[in-house]
């Protein structure tokens, strides 16, 4: 009986982690892309071509955010973050975390990234949905 409860709790935790790691990001980027789509279409009086162009722009925004998330998740911006922390510590004259160098800072962040390596896929999947809308409008309008 206890083993079944542990398995059920494991799956509940897995679903909760999946939603908060990936689902919430998917919802946020989708809302931003919908705002971009509606803004663009509203500016051009909600024509079919305006919706098509707006969905393409929204898809590119999602793809760019996905690319930046991928690059960030591989540690490209760690040197900037480390120097920002050092600058804030220097200006405010307090020590929130002591790192002995960029290598130690990068290694501490690398451990956290192992759990969230698929986050760019949530942004990319939202971008793909808007590209699908774009291609559907394209096929309907021009064929």
Average pLDDT, integer, range 17-37: 89
pLDDT in tens, 124-140: 999 999 999 999 999 99
Report DSSP state, residue 44. Answer: T
* pLDDT confidence band for 95 (50 / 70 / 90): low
What is the distance between the alpha carbons of residues 122 and 24, in angstroms, rounded to a whole number?
9
Residues 6+ apart with CB under 8 A from 80: none
Whole-number pLDDT of residue 96: 56
pTM of whole model > 0.85?
no
């Amino acid at each position: 009986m206890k083993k079944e409860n542990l398995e059920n709790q494991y799956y509940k935790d897995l679903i909760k982690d999946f939603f908060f790691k990936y689902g919430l990001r998917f919802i946020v980027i989708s809302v931003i892309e919908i705002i971009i789509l509606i803004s663009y279409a509203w500016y051009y009086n909600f024509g079919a071509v305006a919706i098509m162009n707006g969905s393409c722009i929204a898809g590119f925004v999602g793809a760019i955010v996905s690319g930046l998330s991928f690059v960030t998740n591989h540690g490209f911006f760690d040197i900037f973050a480390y120097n920002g922390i050092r600058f804030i510590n220097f200006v405010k004259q307090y020590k929130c975390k002591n790192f002995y160098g960029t290598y130690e800072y990068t290694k501490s962040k690398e451990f956290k990234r192992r759990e969230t390596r698929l986050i760019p896929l949530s942004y990319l999947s939202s971008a793909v949905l808007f590209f699908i809308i774009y291609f559907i409008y394209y096929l309907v309008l021009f064929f």
